[in-house]
Structure 1
């Protein structure tokens, strides 16, 4: 059981205040801070503070002791998950992630072609899948999953323009996954001249719909905001096809392979398979590989399920079908001091997002304060957690899938 020092990723869409304030650093930060990485991904592994080595080095030196024999065998001596604090001040790129089979094939193909793993046009820097779950810490806005096409036709009808009419009719004539695939493919491959001709009337229709307080005002406002940030980007059109979500604190969404999504604004805890494979679909100046994106996208449609977790005593578990990870949350109100068992021995990362928590393993204790995190290896005794000094406290615990 050891405290971690974690890397901050300074992507342009990040916040200058959220992560800095969480870590107790000067605010505002000199540059945007987008993600706090906790784990052993080779791109930015956490450091075990007392030992002075990285978590990746520790696991490589003793995979069975750190991960447990079953996890080490199943995942090739790798920690299979990565935990993050995500702070989105501006929208992230629209993206999807491959399945395990797609990732293995794509990685082998790009390795054979000799594409450097850090190349801007590389799709598969890792050979593994990247399912993910994001759990809101603040109100969190996102686009995720293809909306029911009948509902999307209603939205498009509400902002119908002469240029948009053939596209609406295409989906109305086949309001299913195949129709969504056809319309998305049409939009993502539109020549820039056609896109530029289509957008002004559509944006004007969205403005009018918002002014009239129409049923789809939130969706239209999102399109207008995206168009301002990414003029001439086909992802602005694609946003019309996706569920527009507003998550409250503690609510989560699970994004399996092939789910097209874009995080728009807010702070969240994110857990994902230990991979950085991204197929972008727009809202970015970065590389967009349209054929490869279309190969991995899942066009199944309908409302995006919101996961509020399942309570077991004070522990709330966000269950998914991802074998790589499981996320749980524990909250204590001010004055509460109940000791909570965090389960049997297993590889875990614990991060405190409010207050301070005392973690005990076999008679050894560790204080984890707000913004701090700790590594608990499989050889550690089953941990117990309790808040420090009766203050309100919240911790998230990441481990392998059950």
Structure 2
């Protein structure tokens, strides 16, 4: 068992204080958005050797891990986005490689050939948008507004209802040729603000538009956001986002575990490169309520298994004198999110504090946790 050297990603939506405070590092004014643990080439973890040198985690594993574990510290809403299914990711990755697009290029879309289902586990109150509202609820949202754009969209959706109609409407909204004018968008936002301030909100749709408008001005993604389910997770709750599901994370700090990919197609609410048509082509899943994952209790450990082959997440809290045994085998990453704990397996132990993590090899046996704190473990459920 070895403590991991991890990588911080400084995206513009990140908090300037949360991750530095968690890691006991000085804040430097930059946004510290994500802490990565895994073998992805854009942010691979390292393992220390006895001679003081380090090697990439993939050399210890002998291959790439099927999952990537992160901590997200969100100070501003993330982009409106979707993750591609496997076939689309494979084709897009090969196509951009053939064109000679560098992996770290700002306009690069496909960073690897993998799909990216993901799950978020809240460490603080966490809010996001996941999947389209049902058509009847979208009608309800649009009918509550007086702006010409809202009336037009409502008429379009009544003429072309259901999930396919919503996707086509989003395609028109995001199109640089067919999308609404700045004047129309400003009128839509002002209308949402008036209704929200008068107490006439509908399932927090108008509140969402008002919040996002503070960061993104006249962006057609503001209208799309009103069409999506808004969810809130309390600490210890988790939500799953399948490939092809339109979503955006709004606020909070969470652990995120996903298939080992960094493929994100964006279409607004961001300063990064956007691909509106690719996003629309990628949207595959229908309308749904919040994708909250119900945990299974395994000996006092909460197991969140959304039914994908790449990952599951186990969460355990221990107090002084208590011990928890984490489920699973195979290569595992154990991350401390609170307190001080000792993580032990067949070949040694590691003391972890918040933001510190350890890698457990496939033949290290069962993992136990002692101390006073909380850990999460990412692992492959079939291992």
Cα distance in 1, alignment partners of residues 82 and 179 from structure 2: 26
Segments of 5+ residues of structure 2 without an aligned counterpart are none
Paired residue secondary structure (2:137): helix
Matches within 5 A, 1:114-263: 114-189=100-175, 191=177, 194-216=180-202, 218-263=204-249
CA apart distance, 1:320: 1.3
Give the aligned partner of residue 349 of structure 2: 365
Cα distance in 2, alignment partners of residues 32 and 54 from structure 1: 27
Cα distance in 2, alignment partners of residues 219 and 120 from structure 1: 31
Give the aligned partner of residue 9 of structure 1: 9
Matches within 5 A, 1:343-358: 343-358=327-342
Give the aligned partner of residue 362 of structure 2: 378
Residue 210 of structure 1 contacts residue 217 of structure 1 at CA under 8 Å; is this kept in 2?
A: no
Q: 1:95 to 1:215 in 2, by over 3 A?
A: same
Cα distance in 1, alignment partners of residues 180 and 367 from structure 2: 59
TM-score normalised by length of structure 2: 0.94
Residue 45 of structure 1 contacts residue 54 of structure 1 at CA under 8 Å; is this kept in 2?
A: no
Cα distance in 2, alignment partners of residues 281 and 194 from structure 1: 14
Matches within 5 A, 1:52-71: 52-59=53-60, 63=62
Cα distance in 1, alignment partners of residues 329 and 275 from structure 2: 42
Residue 314 of structure 2 contacts residue 327 of structure 2 at CA under 8 Å; is this kept in 1?
A: no
Q: 1:153 to 1:204 in 2, by over 3 A?
A: same
Q: 1:192 to 1:89 in 2, by over 3 A?
A: farther
Q: 1:147 to 1:43 in 2, by over 3 A?
A: same
Residue 150 of structure 1 contacts residue 172 of structure 1 at CA under 8 Å; is this kept in 2?
A: no
Cα distance in 2, alignment partners of residues 194 and 383 from structure 1: 55
Q: 1:46 to 1:193 in 2, by over 3 A?
A: closer
Q: Kindly indicate whether residue 373 of structure 2 is the aligned counterpart of residue 396 of structure 1.
A: no
**1:53-81 deviation digits (Å, cap 9, x = unpaired):** 2333523xx62xxxxxxxxxxxxx32111
Q: 1:319 to 1:167 in 2, by over 3 A?
A: same
TM-score normalised by length of structure 1: 0.90
